[in-house]
Amino acid sequence: MNQYDFKDRVAIITGGGQGIGFTVAQRLLASGAKVSIWDIDQPLLDKLPANLGVGDDRLLALNANISEEDSIGTAVAETIRKFGRIDVLINNAAIVGPNAATWEYPIKAFSDVVQVGLIGTFMVCRAVVPHMIAQNYGRVVNVSSVAGKEGNPKAPAYSSMKAAVLALTKSLGKELADYNIAVNAVTPAVAKTTLALSQDPAFLQMIVSKIPRGRMLELSEAASMICWLASEENSFTTAATFDLSGGRATY
């Protein structure tokens, strides 16, 4: 397993209590980073020190709801108070929503998916980026989805939200191009996460069948790409989308 130099770097990972976010946290910590993990699942947060095997000198576990501006502000302030800076932001938190055809999709559920995954991601960027500008350094990685490129049937909210995250990534990356700040996105195929595995089995089988690799994405595979994008070595590429679809994406 490759490691990057994250010594003295401070990373925020939203939705880091499990899944891709948790696996990224493991990789960053193994590479020397200090990590602030935000999640709304308190039992998961309580288990993080033991599960990650690090002390509170390098780990901050915060109950934060990225759909609420005040909660984001508090979490940013706590991270700065604890670690003094923010170098890396991994926007991973999202909700999937139900599986239903567009004309039958619950309006409230659509709104909830967009509020967390898109507006929440925007608000976290809005709160964190000024700190990166002030130090003229930062790396932002937005976790989108192949659904944002291709659209999944019976997932109009999730597909729309993830597509919008790609556009947000491109806008923000171009705005920050004059600083030493890179903003990129990844588009995973369905991965072995709790959210994915909780979906309707027929729906899950359908989306796995679209992957030429013939399997789900491993969490470690996602973490490998995300951590390179979050590293200082990624010094040129910004406002870009990196494919993690196992060959499914057509562009």
**Domain total for the chain?**
1
Q: For the sheet containing 59-63, what is the strand order?
A: 59-63, 34-39, 10-14, 88-91, 138-143, 181-188, 240-244
Over residues 144-171, mean pLDDT:
97
Structure confidence at residue 200 as a pLDDT band (50, 70, 90): confident
C-alpha closest to that of 129 among 69, 89, 178: 89
Residue 120 identity: G
pLDDT of res. 47: 97
Structure confidence at residue 199 as a pLDDT band (50, 70, 90): confident
CATH number at residue 81: 3.40.50.720
Residue 5 maps to a domain: no
Residue 137 has pLDDT above 90, yes or no: yes
Residue 1 has pLDDT above 80, yes or no: no
Residue 3 maps to a domain: no
Report whether 147 contacts 159 (CB < 8 A).
yes
C-alpha closest to that of 184 among 176, 193, 192: 176
Residues 6+ positions from 76 with CB-CB distance below 8 Å: 12, 86, 127, 128, 131
Residue 104 maps to a domain: yes
Residues in the chain: 251
4 among known catalytic residues: no
Report whether 61 contacts 37 (CB < 8 A).
yes
Range of the domain at 238: 10-244
Which position among 4, 158, 179, 251 bears the catalytic label?
Answer: 158
Residue 251 maps to a domain: no
3-state secondary structure of 17: coil
Residue 160 maps to a domain: yes
Residues 6+ positions from 39 with CB-CB distance below 8 Å: 14, 15, 16, 17, 18, 21, 45, 61, 62, 63, 64, 93
The average confidence (pLDDT) of the chain is 96
Alpha-carbon span 192 to 26, nearest angstrom: 16
Structure confidence at residue 197 as a pLDDT band (50, 70, 90): confident
Residue 209 maps to a domain: yes
Residue 157 maps to a domain: yes
Which tens digit of pLDDT belongs to each residue from 146-158?
A: 999 999 999 999 9
Residue 2 maps to a domain: no
